[in-house]
Chain A
Amino acid sequence: NAGVTQTPKFRVLKTGQSMTLLCAQDMNHEYMYWYRQDPGMGLRLIHYSVGEGTTAKGEVPDGYNVSRLKKQNFLLGLESAAPSQTSVYFCASSLIGGNTGELFFGEGSRLTVL
């Protein structure tokens, strides 16, 4: 069982370039999330989804877009990358909402914007 898989694991972009991070989960989870983690800081929620076809903004959504066309996939897009978006990005999923317990995290995607 793969759990939560993120691709790519590493990427270097130039300012202004675009890219998409893919998150795939094989646990049939309803909820999916994208977080970013900066050095010495906790995880900050970018966007999340409570089911296929739905997305919502988190704490730091500016500069990112997301899509959840299939239940198992949650895509995070950067249309015009900025150095401030250099970070480690984590995708997570959970079974259903409302005090049901843990988030299952991927291994992270390290993005550097030059």
Chain B
Amino acid sequence: GESVGLHLPTLSVQEGDNSIINCAYSNSASDYFIWYKQESGKGPQFIIDIRSNMDKRQGQRVTVLLNKTVKHLSLQIAATQPGDSAVYFCAEDLYNFNKFYFGSGTKLNVKP
């Protein structure tokens, strides 16, 4: 979920296990959401998106779930690999303006 202050929440998983990363978004009017992955020293990269008229969307090894009732997103990564180690951000687009607001991120640490 969201973090406060300088310390990112960290999720440690064993290689091959499934990972679930959570995000609470702020505005019930947001209608488009994206998950980004940021590796150390790099800019964020798009993983998967979902619109507010959907509850679930699947990609390659990733699934995003949206619960509008509690304003919650989750990113599920199947068979987590060492290359998945990164910081993951959710971003919400308020009112369809393509102006994204980012959460503070979760660090995923994959242990071999």
Contact = CB atoms under 8 A, between A and B. Distances in A.
Interface residues of A, number: 30
Contacts of B7: 40
A98 B49 contact: no
Contacts of A99: 31-32, 51, 93, 96, 98
Contact of A107 (B43, B49, B98): B43
Interface of A is mostly: loop
Interface residues of B, number: 29
A1 interface: no
A106 B71 CA distance: 29
Interface in A23-61: 31, 33, 35, 39-45, 48, 58-59
Contacts, number: 70
Among A59, A96, A98, the most chain B Cβ lie within 10 Å of the Cβ of: A98
B49 A42 contact: no
Contacts of B98: 31, 94, 96-100
Among A41, A94, A108, the most chain B Cβ lie within 10 Å of the Cβ of: A41
Given A42-B105, A45-B100, A108-B42, 9 more contacts: A33-B99, A40-B105, A42-B89, A59-B101, A98-B97, A99-B51, A99-B93, A102-B46, A102-B49
Q: Which 3 A-B pairs have the closest CB atoms?
A: A105-B43, A102-B46, A42-B102
Interface of B: 3, 5-8, 31-32, 34, 41-46, 49, 51, 89, 91, 93, 96-105
Interface of A: 4, 31, 33, 35, 39-45, 48, 58-59, 90, 92, 94, 96-108
